[in-house]
Each structure stands twice: as C-alpha cells, then as structure tokens.
A and B are shown apart, each in its own frame.
Chain A
Amino acid sequence: MYSALLPDRLPWYIAGPALGLLVVGFFLLTNQPLGATGAYVETARTVRRQTGAVTWRAFYFVGIALGGYIAVQLKDIGFDPRTGYDILVDEGAGNLGLSLPAAAALIFAGAIVMGYGARMAGGCTSGHGICGTAQRSPASWAAMITFMATAVMTTFVINQF
C-alpha cells in the first residue's frame, strides 16, 4: 500500500494562491493572461491550420487536461470512469434523476450557451474572473459580477426541481 500524494481535496487557501502565482509567473514570462476561452478558440484554429493561429494556446489547452490527469493519479481515487454528472442522472434525494439522453441534452445546451457567452464577453471564469480582475480591468470585474449573479440565480431555479 502507498498513501496518495494529494489529499482528496486541496484546500482553497492553498489552491487559490497557487493559481494566482501561475497567472503572475505566466505574465512574467510572456506578458499574456491565461484565459481558457482563448485556448479553445486557438485550439480550433490550430487544428484547422488557420493562419495566425496562436499555437501556444493549443499547447495550453492540452496542458490543462494533462495536468488534471496527473493530479487525479496522485489521489486515492485515480482515473475514475463515470458520468461526472451524478446530481443530474442519479435518483435520490437532492438529485434530478434525469435519463442519460435528457442529462446530455441539458449539458450540451448549457455548454453552447456558456461558450457563446464567453466569446461574446471576451472571457470566462479564468480569463475575466481571475486574469482580468487581477489586471484591475473594470470590464472584467463587471463580467465576473454578472456571471456570478446569473449562475447563482440559475442554480436556484435548478434546485427547485
């Protein structure tokens, strides 16, 4: 037996400042913020071999998945094949008990709205929510306050079912 290198959940007061240091470190190296929306956009452009595609953002995209995979390997749970949406698909108290196709449709619709909104706003939770706010950008603060508010309201509605 070996004990896991990572706890089941790294406390927020370690993980938060660690993300902050990554943002600062990346600025020190490249003078660029680390938004994930741009990573999706540039990955799509890189795969299509469009001219002017920012390839490092595609590397960043792959890196996120790779780093996540490594981290779960260092936990007790490891790589864990599952739906990932227990609250939506499982029966039981507090769960929605949706069929798999219904859950997939809801998630797909949500993801499309999320992607469309992120591109329109020019950033997501990492782009506006961390990198933009850290640059003291009023637009990013406004976007973050707005998406926090609508996300909390939407979750309130979901919790009524």
Chain B
Amino acid sequence: MNRSAKLNLVGLLFGAGFGFVLAAANLHEYATIHNMLSLEEFDVFGLMGGAIGVSLPLLWILERRGTRTALGGTLTLARSKPQRHHIVGGALFGIGWALSGTCPAPALVMLASGAGLAIVTVTGLFVGLGLRDAQTSRTNGTATAGDGEHREVVTTSR
C-alpha cells in the first residue's frame, strides 16, 4: 500500500473513531449543545477540557523527544500568534454554532443518526466555507489554514 492509500485508510478510521465518540457522548443532539451554551450543563465543557487535558501534555512530551511519526516525518506542532481573522472568524463561528446547535463534525453525526434537518446544516456549512473561499480568491489572498487544520509537512529531516 502506498503512502497516499495508507493516509486515506488512517483518515477513514480516525474519522470513524471521532464520529463514534461524538455520537456516544450525544454531541450530535441539538439539546446537548444548547444546554451547554445555556450554561446549564457542564458535560461538553468537561469533554473538551478532557480532550485538551490528555492531548496537550502528550503532544508536548512527544515534541520535546523529537518523535518520528509513521507517515509524516518528525512530529512538529504549529503555534501562531492571534490575528484579527482568528478573532473575527471565531466570533462569527460562535454565533453560527449557537444558531445551528451543532458544529462541523457533530453535524455529520447528526445527519447519520437520522436527523433530517441536519442536511440543511451540512449544506449551509459547505455554502459558508465556499463563500469565504470565493472571497479570498477574489482578493488574491489564500484561505487561512489554522493550527488545527491540514498543513504541508516537510518529511525530510532538517
């Protein structure tokens, strides 16, 4: 199996793992997100804190040890300074998140669990992402890839 096929398989499996956990924790239910954002239920904040609490120290240790990853060279973490687009984009994202009661990954789980209106959410997400991409290409800019998104990895050792 070549590298690209391995990456596809890993992507599918980790996607399935991510979707499985989101569904198991009921993050695909409108009520779960609504109760969280109404500050009536602590669970989702705890969930996010638990995810960060486990991954942050582990990634830190792996980075310090200069760990070699299986398919992407030496493990490198991305750290950017906050800029205006992070804040403005984040503010808009939060408003949309509250209105639609779900975020990008749970929206797919919502749809897969039988929620009919989630097709509207997923379609709207594609439209919104496309609008931003169209805008950045008109201004000859490049769409922003944040520190949690895909980046090109230099696989040769430096």
Contact = CB atoms under 8 A, between A and B. Distances in A.
A133 B18 contact: no
Contacts of A66: 12, 15-16, 19, 112
Interface residues of A, number: 121
A70 B91 contact: no
Contacts of B75: 27-28, 31
Interface residues of B, number: 119
B9 A59 contact: yes
Given A66-B112, A121-B89, A127-B146, A115 B128 contact: yes
B34 A87 contact: yes
Interface of A is mostly: helix
Interface in A96-116: 103-104, 106-116
A59 B12 contact: yes
Interface string B128-143: 1111110000000001
Given A126-B104, A155-B34, A60 B14 contact: yes
6 contacts: A31-B71, A40-B104, A63-B18, A111-B100, A114-B97, A122-B89
